[in-house]
Amino acid sequence: MSPEPIIHRCECEACKAGLDTETAKSHQRINLFLSRLNEPQKRWYVATLSEEADGSSDRQLTLITGLDEKTIRRGKAELQDQLAVVPVDRQRRAGGGRLRAEKKTGS
């Protein structure tokens, strides 16, 4: 049973003013995506946004995503460290076996 995902509402100027700009749409997409991620995945994603050359500042990302700057910095540090703290196996789907070939080709 998974709870209804809570989608953060961006608190930047454009979104608070209710403007329907590309910026606002992009912020909504970011928050929609974030709503489906777990905590570590959220901070890594926001960390990558933060490190984009023309990306938003951490302060801005805090407004957009609701993650605090400390969390974003932590995400960046973990990425810098090649996500050494994260066991790779956990990221894979369990029991993702091969589908049985049982096609009905009514010829």
Q: What is the footprint of Zn ion within residues 26-45 (CB under 5 A)?
A: 27
Among 2, 7, 8, 12, binds Zn ion (CB under 5 A): 12
**What is the closest distance, in whole angstroms, from the C-beta atom of residue 64 to Zn ion in the complex?**
5
**What is the closest distance, in whole angstroms, from the C-beta atom of residue 23 to Zn ion in the complex?**
6
- Are 7 and 36 in contact by the 8 Å Cβ rule? The answer is no
- Window contacting Zn ion (CB under 5 A); options: 14-22, 44-52, 78-86, 99-107: 14-22
- Check residue 12 and report its DSSP letter: S
Verify binding: residue 67, Zn ion, rule CB under 5 A: no
- Are 73 and 58 in contact by the 8 Å Cβ rule? The answer is yes
Compare residues 22 and 89 and give the one whose CB is closer to Zn ion.
22
Interface residues with Zn ion (CB under 5 A) are 10, 12, 15, 27
